Amino acid sequence: MIGISKGMAETFRRMLRPAVTLTYPDTKRELPERARMSFAMARDENGQPQCKSCMLCERSCPDDAIKIESEKRADGPGRELTKFTIDLGKCMYCGLCVEQCSTDGLRHTGDFENNSPDRADMMLVLYEAEPGSVTPPTIDESTPEQLAEVTDAFGALPAEPAEPAEPQGGAS
């Protein structure tokens, strides 16, 4: 009986104090500086993503939530980013992808209001190249170096050219 009366006394004391609860949608809590929430793609001064398509973040993701699509650069070595997607439904926000990024192209943001009842809405597309903006390299398959490059890139040899057809009508 003494325990119940002590509990009720504490309850009545707390009822008379002002509430400490934040009214969430109206008042948002101060987040820690290094809070890991959603993601953002850093851009350079020209508006292009800083991501160099090295695929370190995709390989380091334990949940396989990151998908990167890229194409070989036409103007030199390396790859050019065409699409960068993170499945927020799979992501556990561990931060390994952000730590692995050598160009600081991927960052955490303070946005934590990114849930949805629809699974398709959980796909965060951080970058998608406009159609036609990535130009494929022009390849002259006549040189052995370029033929080897095509073989390495696509895993197969290009189609052999057809034999020239002999003219009909016979030659004398």
Spatial contact of 123 and 42, defined as CB atoms under 8 Å apart: no
Give the residue ranges of DSSP H helices in the chain. 2-16, 56-60, 96-100, 144-154
| Alpha carbon 161 to chain centroid, angstroms | 40
Strand partners, 36: none
Give pLDDT tens digits for 82-138: 999 999 999 999 999 999 998 999 998 888 777 788 888 889 999 998 876 654 444
Domain ranges of the chain: 32-154
Give pLDDT tens digits for 133-160: 654 444 444 555 655 555 555 444 444 5
CATH of the domain spanning 32-154, picked from 3.30.70.3270, 3.30.365.10, 3.40.50.1100, 3.40.50.970? 3.30.70.3270
